[in-house]
Structure 1
Amino acid sequence: MTDPGGSAPAPDLLLFYGGTFDPVHNGHLAIARAARDRLHCPVRLMPAGDPPHRPPPGASAEHRAAMLRLALAEERELCMDRRELERGGRSYTVETLRALRRGRPCASVALLLGADSFAGLMSWKDWRDLFSLAHLVIAERAGSPLGDLAAPLAAELEARGGADAAALRRVPAGRILRLQQPLSGESATRLRALIAAGGDWRRLLPAAVAGYIDHHGLYRDGGGDGGAGAAPL
């Protein structure tokens, strides 16, 4: 990839954006686009199969992956990464990164996550090991919780923060970049509640995803699969 500031190719950066994407919505895409444009690299959106830090997803893994594929069809340098869906078992981020490192020990790897997720990082499995496995790119908005972190997280942010795109490419892991991204009010929780209540929800996600939800009757009863079988992938 060519750096916009010059003609020399920029070193590779593997950037992963994990989540349940239940369903994928405009806010997810805004974060991914902002990271792509700031870091000048593709973003790999990685749906979790069995996330351990929240209740079970409302829609099956295959439905969520199908919606994500539709959402990314017209997006530049945004793609889906199925490794957590295909691995099976609980989707622990640290295990995903360890598996990745076995094949790419020297690659520069970054994990994109929201400020709320970073604020809860201490509840993640082996959370301190994440810093030896990847950089963290924290998407934050006005009112994000980074000013009121638990002391261990605040110390990590102080020690590792201030990175820019070039810094993430110089070393394989261990830095933190704070990404200011456009204010967006969408949340998957709110979307599922709107769909179940028959509210105004279609404008909050890509048209193709809205059509898929309608076609399969997802989230209508507050759940996910609407009695439909998993979509083929």
Structure 2
Amino acid sequence: MDTFVSDSVSPPRVAMLGGTFDPVHLGHLRSAVELAEALDLDRVHMIPAQRPPLRGAPGLPGHQRLALLRLGIGDTPRLHADDREIHRDGPSYSADTLASLRDEYGEQARLVMALGHDAFLKLADWHQPQRLFALAHLVVLERPDHYQPLAPALRELIDGREVDDPAALFAAPAGGLLRLSLESRMAISATAVRERLRHGGSVRYLLPEAVEREIMALGLYRHER
């Protein structure tokens, strides 16, 4: 993995954006770009999960999903395809990944874990959810048209942590919660993309061109279980 070098005297602002990226699509990448802009981040680590604990096995092995992610990112500033979960044994627990990033960037870095609204609703069921806040801030990528009451365990977990803006969030290295609505909410589903590929449908303008070319060249997802 390449080494991050900051030219700023202030602590680096770094985000983890995890997922299966099965495959990476334009919604993933646009969200990462807008996240970096909205929070003035130095880097967004896009991290494919090898063994996601709360969902089934991905359609492609980790090394292929990582390769497609690298193709999709290309030379996009601030976005980084991170292989640390691909090379780690056992379930891909976010707390372990954040601990690795915290070791890498130091205790004063402003570290963020970004997650979608649906994942946020299940946060209390994650592995060591309190540890997530000890290591990082959580930024929930909101769905403006969606509201669902929070379960009691989730309300207890986030009690007293929520702030209203990035400045308040980054007053400390970790421990806060910010709900963030991104400008472009691209309703692209990796599940729907895989289904189209399996049945020979068009995925044009759903995937980066380089990703689409590689998938077609290798015949990926055509015989997905």
Per the normalisation by structure 2, the TM-score is 0.88
Letter in 1 for 2:66: A
CA separation in 2, counterparts of 1:68 and 1:111?
A: 18
Runs of 5+ in structure 1 lacking a partner? 3-7, 224-233
Contact (CA 8 Å) 1:109, 1:135: kept in 2 or not?
A: yes
What SS class does the counterpart of residue 70 from structure 1 fall into? helix
Contact (CA 8 Å) 1:47, 1:81: kept in 2 or not?
A: yes
Task: State the Cα RMSD in Å.
Answer: 2.0
CA separation in 2, counterparts of 1:130 and 1:163?
A: 19
Distance verdict in 2 for CA 1:37–1:93, change over 3 Å: same
CA separation in 1, counterparts of 2:163 and 2:144?
A: 18
Runs of 5+ in structure 2 lacking a partner? 1-5
> 1:95-154: per-residue Cα shift (whole Å, max 9, x none)?
222333345333221101111111111221111221111100111122334x42212223
> 1:173-213: per-residue Cα shift (whole Å, max 9, x none)?
11011111222110111111111122222321100000111
What SS class does the counterpart of residue 195 from structure 1 fall into? helix
> What are the equivalent positions in structure 2 for 1:68-107 lying under 5 Å apart?
68-103=69-104, 104-107=106-109
Letter in 2 for 1:187: S
CA separation in 1, counterparts of 2:146 and 2:137?
A: 20
CA separation in 1, counterparts of 2:71 and 2:160?
A: 39
Distance verdict in 2 for CA 1:102–1:203, change over 3 Å: closer
Determine the structure 2 residue equivalent to 1:149.
150
Letter in 1 for 2:171: R
> What are the equivalent positions in structure 2 for 1:114-129 lying under 5 Å apart?
114-129=116-131
CA separation in 2, counterparts of 1:100 and 1:206?
A: 27
Determine the structure 2 residue equivalent to 1:221.
223
Determine the structure 2 residue equivalent to 1:27.
27
How far residue 91 of structure 1 moved from its aligned partner, in angstroms, is: 0.5
Determine the structure 2 residue equivalent to 1:196.
198
How far residue 10 of structure 1 moved from its aligned partner, in angstroms, is: 4.8
Contact (CA 8 Å) 2:163, 2:169: kept in 1 or not?
A: no
Whether 1:50 and 2:55 are equivalent positions in the alignment is no
Determine the structure 1 residue equivalent to 2:65.
64
Determine the structure 1 residue equivalent to 2:3.
none
Distance verdict in 2 for CA 1:163–1:109, change over 3 Å: farther
Structure with greater proportional helix content: 1
Q: Please say which of residues 64-73 and 41-50 is displaced more in the overlay.
A: 41-50
How far residue 166 of structure 1 moved from its aligned partner, in angstroms, is: 2.2
Per the normalisation by structure 1, the TM-score is 0.85
Query: Identity, % of aligned pairs?
Result: 40
Contact (CA 8 Å) 2:11, 2:108: kept in 1 or not?
A: no
Contact (CA 8 Å) 1:116, 1:144: kept in 2 or not?
A: no
